[in-house]
Amino acid sequence: MNWDLLFQLLINGLIVGMLYGVVAMCFVLIYKSTQVVNFAQGEFLVLGAWVCWFFIMKMQLPFVLAFLFAMAFMTIFGIIVQMVVLRPLIGEPIISVIMVTIGLSIFMQALMNWMFGNSAERFPAVFGENTVSIGGLQVETAYLMSLVLSVLVMGLFYYFFKFSRYGLAMRATAYNQQVAQSLGISVKQVFSMAWAISALVSCIAGVVLGLVNAVSNSLAIIGIKVFPAVIVGGLDSIIGAVVGGVIIGVLENMAEFVDGQFLHIGNMYTVAPFYVLIIILMIRPYGLFGTKDIERI
Amino acid sequence: MVQSGELLLEAKGINLRFGGIRALTDVSFNVRKGEVFSIIGPNGAGKTSMLNCISGRYKPQEGEITYKGRSLIGRSINDRAAIGIGRTFQNLALFGHMSVLDNIMVGRHHLLKNNFLTGMFYWVGGARKEELEHRRAVEDIIDFLEIQHVRNEPAGTLSYGLRKRVELARAIAINPDLILLDEPMAGMNLEEKEDMARYILDLNEELGTTVVMIEHDMGVVMDISNRVMVLDFGKKIAAGLPEEVMADEHVRRAYLGEEDALLHDEEGEAAAL
């Protein structure tokens, strides 16, 4: 047994899993408040990363500023997508709406291929030091930043839903739109806000992933990888999304370890989460934290 | 405290159709400020449809509804909370997994000014002051309806009578001038009904809220209403003081289910009432 490797992969899994959790939260946020399954989540994330990269490389802005601009851009982008693409579909069959988000995903892929090319681009070195030493352990700065941002985003989500009036309005809308409306909540506003927050947070996740690896359109695969996380946790539970994300992240890396050390099958890493997904759905069809009544697609 | 009051709500010639079904035919009525106005009628008479027209859920094809002199047709549903119209629902519609306190807090939504960004500057931005103010208002409502003992419980775990009371509390939280109650006492036992009737009267007398209520329990309706309107098959067949309405022949026929022919012969007379 290679204990060092195991430990390293465990930490990796945790950090990547937190990031999955963040993306899964965006996904759940949209599903919960607007009943839309957003297949373009991965593209949102990549677009955010590209926009940040563009501000740094082409506009020569410092990283922090570029990051802030990218976040602002994506927030507005989220609102526009909701208003132009999804608002006309309110009240249409759920399957039509899902088709539209798949279309949106293909459209965004093509757009990004056209605008940014299909090769992977690196971010310039953002941090002075590549690794920091914590208690004798060498951790990559980007990973550390990823962890810090994930925790921060989760904390803000918690604060938002628990203590702000819009959070309360969103929870009310998710539960029953008609009643929320009669209590003076503008459902349109809540929908826009859900998409805006989701796009904003996706952007944060995208930039972090871009820093760890590189920006490329294939990063959008995260949008698909997040599925097992979301479904394991239950489609409509935000805490479930985080737990699901961490489970999937750790699982991937453990599968890698078992495969690399003992089995030598190759690519267990990609498949393992889906095995677990099937097993969990057999035992609890509505996910670990979800409520019973969810759409099957 | 009624009679001379000015008009708060006025509906004129409301026609509502769902495809070929006429849910409401030419219904006109008005509600004066400060009164308790009940809408009664057999099942399927269009009572809830009428309420939904006022609260904006349905849009009548013809007719005009004015509230405080302004037209309500075409305004969004969520606008109605801002101008002071609150409502409860026939089938319980609480946010089951949220606490009683949060449920009532949702009703304050349109009155709160801070958003979550200004809320981050909790101590300097006035958010603290605002929150305290609204918490106090919510506590007053909780006191008023005597639901202190369940304030932190998830609404979904409460008994039926209590849930109805929490729903009323939530509707009161929006500070309405006009409150629409859709069968506030359905499915309650005698004791719960008496309590609810008392709360509605208190609401009307102490807070001065005008009440429009749909209710099946004739005893309660006759006791607490200032005026009553009777609907049958989407038409208004009578309106007036409770005792007048009870004495009306058409009403008794509608309730006892006598031949329709009689009713239709005298339609002209019914409309004049």
Mean pLDDT across A252-278: 80
Q: What does the pLDDT look like over A67-116, one tens digit per residue?
A: 899 999 999 999 999 899 888 887 778 788 888 999 999 999 899 889 88
Nearest alpha-carbon partner for A195 in A97, A295, A297, A96: A97
Q: Give ∠ CA B151-B152-B158 in degrees, rounded to 5.
A: 70
CA distance A75 to A47: 12
Kindly determine whether residue A183 and residue B76, on different chains, have CB atoms separated by under 8 Å: no
Chains A, B: CB pairs < 8 Å: 79
First and final CA of chain B: distance in angstroms? 23
Residue pair A13/A251 in contact (Cβ under 8 Å)? The answer is yes
Residue A296: burial class (beta carbons within 10 Å; 0-12, 13-18, 19+): exposed
Measured between alpha carbons, how far is residue B243 from residues A9, A175, B32, B186, B248 in Å? Answer: 81, 42, 19, 22, 9
Nearest to A183 among B81, B116, B119 (CB): B81
Amino acid at A38: N
Q: Which residues of B touch A183 (CB under 8 A)?
A: 78, 81, 86, 106-107, 109-110, 170, 174
Sequential DSSP letters for chain A: --HHHHHHHHHHHHHHHHHHHHHHHHHHHHHHHH----TTHHHHHHHHHHHHHHHHHTT---HHHHHHHHHHHHHHHHHHHIIIIIGGGTTS-HHHHHHHHHHHHHHHHHHHHHHH-SS-BPPPP-SS-SEEEETTEEEEHHHHHHHHHHHHHHHHHHHHHHH-HHHHHHHHHHH-HHHHHHTT--HHHHHHHHHHHHHHHHHHHHHHHHHHS-B-GGGGHHHHHHHHHHHHH-TT-HHHHHHHHHHHHHHHHHHHHHIIIII--S-HHHHHHHHHHHHHHHH-TT-SS--S-----
Please indicate whether residue A208 or residue B110 has the higher confidence score (pLDDT): A208
Higher-confidence position of B268 and A102 = A102
User: Of A115 and A288, which is predicted with more confidence?
Assistant: A115
pLDDT at B115: 57
Residue A38 in any domain: the answer is yes
Mutate one of B59, B83, B106 to test the A interface: name it (highest A CB count within 10 A). B106
Identify the DSSP state of B118. G
Q: Are B182 and B214 in contact (CB under 8 A)?
A: yes
Residue A239 has a CB neighbour count (10 Å cut-off) of 17
Domain membership flag for residue B223: yes
Q: What is the pLDDT of residue A107?
A: 92
Residue A17 lies in a domain: no
Does residue A10 sit within a domain?
no
Pairing relationship of beta strands B7-18 and B227-232 according to DSSP bridges:
unpaired
The answer to whether residue B132 is domain-embedded is yes
Mean pLDDT over A265-274 rounds to 78
Nearest to B170 among A163, A183, A186 (CB): A183
Contact A183 B106 (CB under 8 A): yes
Look at chain B and report how many structural domains it folds into.
2
Does the residue B22 lie in any domain?
A: yes
User: Is B185 inside any structural domain?
Assistant: no
Q: When comparing pLDDT for A270 and A39, which is higher? A: A39
pLDDT at B117: 54
Distance from CA of A156 to the nearest CA of B (A): 10
- The answer to whether residue B198 sits within a structural domain is no
Specify whether B68 is located in the same domain as B90: no
Q: Lowest mean pLDDT: which of A284-293, B218-227, B256-265?
A: B256-265
- Chain B partners of A186 at a C-beta cutoff of 8 Å? 76, 78
* Nearest residue to B103 (alpha-carbon basis) of B148, B62, B152, B68: B152
Is the residue at A3 inside a domain?
Answer: no
Question: Nearest 5 degrees, angle CA B130-CA B132-CA B133?
Answer: 65
Q: What are phi and psi of B239, to 5 degrees?
A: -160, 150
Q: What is the CATH number of the domain that holds B57?
A: 3.40.50.300
Give the separation between CA B15 and CA A242, rounded to whole angstroms.
Answer: 51
Please tell me which residue, A24 or B250, carries the higher pLDDT value: A24
Identity at A271, one-letter amino acid code: V
Residue B57 CA to chain centroid, in angstroms? 13
Q: Is the ipTM of this complex over 0.90?
A: no
Mean pLDDT of B235-246: 86
Q: B271 versus B137: which is more confidently predicted? A: B137
Residue percentage of chain B with pLDDT more than 70 = 86
What residues make up the domain containing B121?
Answer: 85-175
pLDDT in tens, B84-139: 899 888 877 888 888 898 889 888 887 776 555 555 555 555 667 777 888 888 88
pLDDT for B2 equals 44
Is A85 inside any structural domain? yes
Local confidence band at B80 (pLDDT 50, 70, 90 cut-offs): confident
Domain-terminating residue out of B175, B200, B232: B175
In angstroms, what separates the C-alpha of B249 from chain A's closest C-alpha? Answer: 37
Whether residue A121 is contained in a domain is answered as: yes
Q: Which two tokens stand for residue A1?
A: 């047994």
CB spacing of A164 vs B116 below 8 angstroms: yes
Nearest to A166 among B78, B97, B115 (CB): B115
pLDDT value for B200: 92
Query: What domain range is A52 assigned to?
Result: 25-221
For residues B67 and A26, what is the distance between their CA atoms, to the nearest angstrom?
41
Alpha-carbon distance A132 to A166, whole Å? 39
Of all residues in chain A, the one with the smallest CA distance to B134 is A165
Question: Pick from B160, B175, B190: which residue ends a domain?
Answer: B175
The answer, for A284 touching chain B at a CB cutoff of 8 Å, is no
pLDDT > 70 fraction of chain A, expressed in percent and rounded: 94
Confidence of residue A296 (pLDDT cuts 50, 70, 90): very low
The neighbour count for residue A295, using CB atoms within 10 Å, is 12
Q: What secondary structure does DSSP assign to A266-277, as a single string?
A: S-HHHHHHHHHH
CA distance B261 to chain A (A): 39
Structure token pair of residue A147: 């962890």
User: Does residue B217 sit within a domain?
Assistant: yes
| The predicted structure's pLDDT at residue A136 | 67
> A98 exposed, middle or buried (CB, 10 Å; 0-12, 13-18, 19+)?
middle
Does residue A70 lie in a domain region?
A: yes
Partner-chain residue, chosen from B109, B114, B119, that has the shortest CB–CB distance to A185 = B109
Q: pTM of the full predicted structure?
A: 0.78
Q: Do B106 and A163 touch (CB under 8 A)?
A: no
Any domain includes B41:
yes
Please determine, for residue A23, whether its predicted confidence score (pLDDT) is greater than 70. Answer: yes
Read off the pLDDT of residues A40-63 as tens digits, 9 standing for 90 and up.
888 999 999 999 988 888 888 888
pLDDT at position B116 is 54
Strand-pair partners of B211: B36, B179
Range from A19-33, A99-113, A260-274 carrying the lowest mean pLDDT:
A260-274
Question: Which among B76, B96, B105 has CB closest to A168?
Answer: B105
Interface residue A176 vs chain B (CB under 8 A): yes
pLDDT at A203: 92
Pair (B65, B90) in one structural domain:
no
Partner-chain contact B109 A178, CB within 8 Å:
no
Q: Do A169 and B96 touch (CB under 8 A)?
A: no
Residue A212 domain flag: yes
pLDDT digits (tens, 9 = 90+) for A108-151: 989 988 988 888 888 877 776 777 777 666 777 878 888 888 89
B76 three-class SS: coil
Q: What is the pLDDT of residues A211-264, one digit of tens each?
A: 887 888 888 888 888 888 888 877 777 888 888 889 888 888 888 888 877 777
Which chain B residues touch A160 with a CB distance below 8 Å?
116
What total number of domains does chain A contain?
Answer: 1
CB-nearest partner of A183 from B97, B107, B119? B107
Nearest Cβ partner of A184 from B81, B102, B105?
B81
* A179 to B93: CB separation less than 8 angstroms, yes or no: yes
In a shared domain, residues B73 and B90: no
| Measured distance CA(B182)–CA(B88) in Å, rounded | 6
Q: What is the pLDDT of residue A287?
A: 67
Other Cβ atoms less than 10 A from the Cβ of B103: the count is 27
Arithmetic mean of pLDDT, B188-215: 90
- pLDDT digit string, tens, across residues B170-181: 999 988 999 999
pLDDT of residue A297: 43
Q: Are the beta carbons of A165 and B112 separated by less than 8 Å?
A: yes
Residue pair B30/B7 in contact (Cβ under 8 Å)? The answer is yes
Residue A15 has pLDDT above 80, yes or no: yes
Give me the torsion for CA of B252, B31, B74, B95, rounded to 10°. -80
Chain A nearest C-alpha distance from B127 (Å): 10
Three-class secondary structure of residue B36 per DSSP: strand
Closest-CA distance, A281 to chain B, in angstroms, reads: 24
User: How far apart are the CA of B156 and the nearest CA of chain A, in angstroms?
Assistant: 12
Which of B109, B110, B174, B212 to mutate: most A Cβ within 10 Å? B109
Among partner residues A172, A175, A184, which is closest to B110 by beta-carbon distance?
A184
Query: Residue B212 pLDDT > 90, yes or no?
Result: yes
Q: What gap in Å lies between CA A151 and CA A133, rounded to an integer?
A: 20
Residues 6 or more apart from B20 whose CB is under 8 A from it?
none
Residue B44 lies inside a defined structural domain of this protein? yes
